[in-house]
Amino acid sequence: MSEESSGNESLAAIFHRIAQMLEVTGADRFRVIAHDRASRLIESHPTDLAALARKEGKKPLTDIDGIGPKIADKIIEFANTGRIAEHDELVASVPHTLLDLFNVPGLGPKTIRALWQELNVTSIADLKRIIDDGSILTLPRMGAKTVENIKEAITFSEQSAERIPLGIAMPIAEGIVRRMSKIAGVTRADFAGSLRRGRETIGDLDILVATNNPAAVRDAFTTMPEVTKTLTAGDAKCSVRLNVRGKIMQADLRIVPDASWGAALMYFTGSKEHNIRLRERALKKGWTLNEYGLYPDDDEKTPPQHRGVKSLAGADEEGIFKKLAVPAVPAELREERDIDEPPPEDLLQLSDIKAELHAHTTASDGRMSIEQLAEAAKARGFHTIAVTDHSQSSALAGGLKPDALRNHIDAVRAANERIKGITILAGSEVDIRADGSLDYEDELLAQLDIVVASPHASLRQDPKTATERLIRAVNHPLVHILGHPTGRIVNKREGFHPDIAEVAAAAAQHRTALEINANWMRLDLRDTHIKAAITAGKGKTLIAIDCDVHHPDDFDNLRYGVMTARRGGLTTGGCVNAWQQKKLHEWLKSKR
């Protein structure tokens, strides 16, 4: 997220709130959708739209696919006045704490509206109160089971509220790093902590800067526009609280001399457990390791870096690993793990990925045509793109009835003839029904080049039922990939807890791949599951990493999937998206 787009962020946030407020006031569905779509478009737009509107007026705005004249007028209004009157009017009529209810998983706008209108609920606190006194049950269609679910959802969202999803934290951290890099005297800047290790959620951001001018870095960091509070402001260490589009988070900054870069990066990358093991190793060798370097241990009270002691290593991480005689571990594997265990030599890398096998077009709920999708995949250097629109049961996501799918297959085949330089596969993301059966007849599935089978409903099944359901799907001879196997949404929906080892063993036996859905809201399978799946498959586990593309930008989520895969120890050979075209297509055909 660059500084240039910060205008877009506030504008996007305003449209998002307008959409939510329209929804709870019971406004026309299409108005809600238009504002919501505008919000997403603006947020992901590379140039500052308010600035563009000021310079060139309405035309370039309405030229953007998805922005109509009414929305464009509001952007112009914002560009000229910094406000949108409609937003201000809505704010005056909708209590702002009411919008917090949107963060409770499973609470839809209709229910929120009913809670507000019928029972005067305007906050989470109110909602808890009417659950406790039972008056929530007076709402139409509100039974004990639903109330129980809402209660659970409130607790879950409260507990997980503090940790920030990887995909939100990453662009924010990168924006800060970019700004720090530009300051005079700065030789290096990067992010560290759990973010560099690729954890699915981040407690706080850790930023590291090497410079000979700490004061300039300190001042720049503590005066960034998103800083709402400075907690510490020293020459070696600063801490601030940020508000980025309503997300509150802490960011820690460490400032070190260039010669300590590697030691500091290692220290602040962690994990704590990994650091402790390295420090113990240093002590065993008669050395001491801290964030400034590796030094001889001379039992002096004053730390070595303050006494001009020459370090044994410290400028880069490799040098420290080497001196300690432990294998250099990629950041993603620096968790509870034996430091003497060498990391896999062919640990998967982002550049290994050559295919996207789970993507949606305008035929269901995607934003791109088949052609646009194919061109976008080609631009990423992929040899294969699979068109996998939703199946009939996913009605809300525009799932295709059998006849529509037949036509779609023809359209994909025709596009594949027309477009050179990439293979376009005709596929489907087929719902796995609650009993593990699939949402199309086998006769139709057999006509597809690729089948991704995913659970979308009944995600509260108990572990045993869920395991049986998934195993039935991976055993199906026409299925290639099990999509987002647990259905969880980070911080929002728990999904179910199948026995991953059992599912993975069955999948390996049938040469069915398990998906790592790279969307940072899903990351499903998660890191621990991947590790378990690789172990259970005894060398035969196949993993697919896919972006579940709906929008061109979704391809950018790939790195989160790859980081998660690396945390699980996935190698290039075990990832079907990293295979050469021939090998991939042979595997797909082997199930036809």
Kindly list the residues in this chain that would bind Zn ion in the complex (CB under 5 A): 454
The smaller minimum CB distance to ligand DGT, of residues 194 and 564, is found at: 194
Environment class of residue 311 by beta-carbon count within 10 Å: exposed (0-12), middle (13-18) or buried (19+)? buried
Distances (CA, A) of 401 to 405, 444, 449: 6, 11, 18
193 touching Ca ion, by CB under 5 A: yes
Q: Among residue numbers 204 through 223, which ones bind ligand DGT (CB under 6 A)?
A: 204, 206
Q: Which long-range contacts (CB under 8 A, 24 or more apart) does 114-123 make?
A: 114/139, 114/140, 115/139, 116/24, 122/95, 122/97, 122/98, 123/95, 123/97, 123/98
Q: How far is the CB of 453 from Zn ion (least distance, A)?
A: 10
Report the nearest approach of ligand DGT to the CB of residue 179 (Å). Answer: 20
Q: Assign residue 356 a region (left: φ > 0; alpha: ψ between -120 and 50; beta: otherwise).
A: beta
Using rule CB under 6 A, residue 160 touches ligand DGT: no
Total residues at interface with Ca ion (CB under 5 A) = 6
Find the shortest distance in angstroms from Cβ 429 to Zn ion.
Answer: 5
Could you give the CA distance from residue 268 to residue 255 in angstroms, rounded to a whole number? 11
| CB contact at 8 A, 263 and 278 | no
- CB of 245 vs ligand DGT, minimal distance in Å: 20
Task: Indicate the residue among 193 and 455 with the shorter CB distance to Ca ion.
Answer: 193
Is omega for the bond preceding 137 within 30 degrees of 0, making it cis? no
One symbol per residue from 244 to 263: x for binding Ca ion (CB under 5 A), - otherwise; what is it? --------x-----------
Min dist. Cβ of residue 411 to Zn ion (A): 21
* Positions 206 through 245 that interact with Ca ion (CB under 5 A): 206
| Residue number, 194 or 577, with CB nearest to Ca ion | 194
For residue 192, the minimal CB distance to Ca ion (Å) is 8
**Residue number, 143 or 234, with CB nearest to ligand DGT:** 234
Assess contact for 564 and 516: CB atoms under 8 A. Answer: yes
When the beta carbons of 194 and 423 are compared against Ca ion, the nearer one is: 194
Give min distance, CB of 335 to ligand DGT, in A. Answer: 9
Residue 161 site contact among Zn ion, Ca ion, ligand DGT, none (CB < 5 to 8 Å, cut-off depends on kind): none
Residue 454 binds: one of ligand DGT, Zn ion, Ca ion, none (C-beta under 5 to 8 A by kind): Zn ion
Q: Cα(first)–Cα(last) distance of the chain, in Å?
A: 44
- The answer to whether the beta carbons of residues 516 and 547 sit under 8 Å apart is no
Closest distance between Zn ion and the C-beta of residue 483, in Å?
A: 5
Site for Ca ion in 58-117 (CB under 5 A): none
Pairing mode, strands 542-546 and 513-517: parallel
483 in contact with ligand DGT (CB under 6 A)? no
Sign (positive/negative) of CA torsion 410, 411, 417, 420?
A: negative
Given its phi and psi angles, is residue 420 left (phi above 0), alpha (psi -120 to 50 degrees) or beta? beta
CA 489 vs. chain centroid, Å, equals 10
For Cα atoms 161, 164, 170, give the angle at the middle one, nearest 5 degrees: 170
* Cβ distance to Zn ion smaller for residue 271 or 393: 393
Q: Which does 272 bind (CB under 5 to 8 A by kind): ligand DGT, Zn ion, Ca ion, none?
A: ligand DGT
> Residue 372: exposed, middle, or buried by beta-carbon count in 10 A (0-12, 13-18, 19+)?
middle
Question: In the stretch 173-202, what mask flags binding to ligand DGT with x, by CB under 6 A?
Answer: --------------------xx----x--x
Instruction: Count helices and strands (H / E) in the chain.
Output: 23, 16
Q: How many alpha carbons fall within 13 Å on the CB side of residue 390?
A: 17
Give least dist CB 252 to Ca ion, A. 4
Touching ligand DGT, residues 253-282 (CB under 6 A): 267-268, 270-272, 275-276
| CA neighbor of 536 nearest in space, from 584, 489, 568 | 568
Interface ranges with ligand DGT (CB under 6 A): 193-194, 199, 202-204, 206, 267-268, 270-272, 275-276
Interface ranges with Ca ion (CB under 5 A): 193-194, 203-204, 206, 252
